[in-house]
């Protein structure tokens, strides 16, 4: 079992994530690549004191970047789409 603060890396606050939050009551987090859905659910419930209905995860592959003659690759990122139960909100992330 991982520690709470190592599972959740940060919350994503983009236009797409804010739209998904308004429509589906779903929050998007960057999480540890080795974390599973149960660990993510427990971490979010305990850290933000909310009830979770569902968790979906996906891994976005890092893009290849080039600066002059040098090439590189950005790291892969694991995202978690966390849907809260009806009436639940994370007040810390509300802007």
User: Taking the chain (95 residues) in consecutive chunks of 10 residues, what is each chunk's mean pLDDT?
Assistant: 82 94 95 95 94 96 95 96 94 80
Q: Report pLDDT for 95.
A: 63
CATH classification of the domain holding 20: 3.30.70.330
Considering the domain boundaries, does residue 38 fall inside one? yes
In 20-76, DSSP assigns E strands to: 26-31, 52-60, 64-67, 70-73
69-77 CB contacts, 8 Å cutoff, 24+ apart: 76/33, 77/30
Classify residue 93: in a domain, yes or no: no
How many residues are there in the chain? 95
Give pLDDT, residue 3.
77
Asked whether 65 and 41 are in contact (CB, 8 A), the reply is no
Residue 92 within a domain: no
CB neighbour list of residue 77: distance below 8 Å, 6 or more residues apart: 30, 59, 60, 62
């Amino acid at each position: 079992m991982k520690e709470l603060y190592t599972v959740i890396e940060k919350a994503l606050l983009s236009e797409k994530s804010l739209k998904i939050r308004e429509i589906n009551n779903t929050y998007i987090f960057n999480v540890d690549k080795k974390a599973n859905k149960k660990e993510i659910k427990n971490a979010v419930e305990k850290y933000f004191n909310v009830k979770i209905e569902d968790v979906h995860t996906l891994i976005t592959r890092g893009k290849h970047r080039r600066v002059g003659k040098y090439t590189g690759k950005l790291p892969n990122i694991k995202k978690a789409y966390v849907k809260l139960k009806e009436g639940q909100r994370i007040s810390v992330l509300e802007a």
